[in-house]
Amino acid sequence: MSDIQKRAMHVRQQSRRKFLKGLATGVGFLLLPGRDASASVWEEFFQKHFRELSRDEVKSVIARLEKEYSRQYGKQVTVKTTPPIEGVLYGYGLDLSRCIGCRRCVYACVKENNQSRSPQIHWIRVLELDKEKGVDLSHAEHYYNPVEVPQKGHFYMPVQCQQCEKPPCTKVCPVQATWKENDGIVVVDYNWCIGCRYCMAACPYGARHFNWTKPGLPAKEMNQNTHYLGNRPRPKGVVEKCTFCIQRTREQPGRYPACEEACPVGARKFGNLLDPESEMRYLIENKRVFVFKEDLNTQPKFYYFYAT
């Protein structure tokens, strides 16, 4: 695609955004009770794209969000905008020979990342598979519920956002609300997302999730440590996803994602793919490694492997 074509596409995308905003403004103005919407609602609605905000504008947006969330949940909430760490490209590893299908990673993720409890939204799905059939999705069971795990003759394969190097989800977004950051994490600007769900249709891993209603997040369970592009409370009508716990992993010194820390058998690994001394580089170079749906050439940075 030529530079001219790229610029033309950008113009069309921005025009679409302006059109949708204008349409929503007119309809919303007519439907609002008493037409007395608060200034913060409109300020949020007309906010510029996160990557276009100046430093002062970012401070203003974060101050507004922290004030709103703190009032809503009755506790002091922080919203970080920590940028990617230079020289870091995150990768995730999962040992299929160790995973026991306990789903502790699922609920650790929910607790850390402020997913809705009612209705429930899980960024991680754990598949139960037959050992004799291998990774055959036609026989995968999402809703297994035995008395004990692991079940004899089965193995377990957690699936979440694969943080693709060539993410198809970002290509189809008509308003550029989702993109890949320099550290490899694919993020979403929830204030910019229009909820069209094109990204959900494009994702071959089922890793994106739509908020159909105002998320049910009990105030006492709300994680106060949030990131603008990660685990801050999401509004109704947007798409959300795993971000490798961006609010944790971009800290200095970096922390592990909540799912990695919660795994009771050490099946999950996380680290910097650019560091030759990292655990991730070791397992990629020394274990039997594969990526999910490799034939699609999305180039995931989520690696499945067998330690034995």
* Predicted confidence (pLDDT) per residue in 172-228, tens digit: 999 999 999 999 999 999 999 999 999 999 999 999 999 988 778 899 999 999 999
Residues 79 and 65 sit within 8 Å (Cβ to Cβ):
yes
Please provide the average confidence, as pLDDT, over all residues in the chain: 88
Q: How far apart are the C-alpha atoms of 107 and 142, rounded to whole Å?
A: 15
Burial 262-282 (b: 16+ CB within 10 A, else e): bbeeebbbbbbbeeeebebbe
Nearest to 85 by CA among 184, 228, 164: 184
Query: Tell me, what's the pLDDT at 25?
Result: 46
Nearest to 148 by CA among 212, 184, 101, 180: 101
Query: Tell me, what's the pLDDT at 247?
Result: 97
Query: Tell me, what's the pLDDT at 121?
Result: 95
Q: Give percent above pLDDT 90 in the chain.
A: 76
Q: CA geometry: angle at 93 spanning 92 and 98, to 5°?
A: 145
Domains of the chain by start residue, with CATH: 12-46 (no CATH), 48-307 (3.30.70.20)
262 Cβ contact list (under 8 Å, min separation 6) = 104, 105, 107, 108
Query: Tell me, what's the pLDDT at 11?
Result: 43
Query: Tell me, what's the pLDDT at 136?
Result: 87
Q: Note the pTM of the prediction, 2 decimals.
A: 0.86
Over range 102-120, report the average pLDDT.
Answer: 96
Query: Tell me, what's the pLDDT at 238?
Result: 96
Query: Tell me, what's the pLDDT at 4?
Result: 47
Query: Tell me, what's the pLDDT at 24?
Result: 53
> 24-44 pLDDT, tens per residue?
544 544 444 444 445 566 677
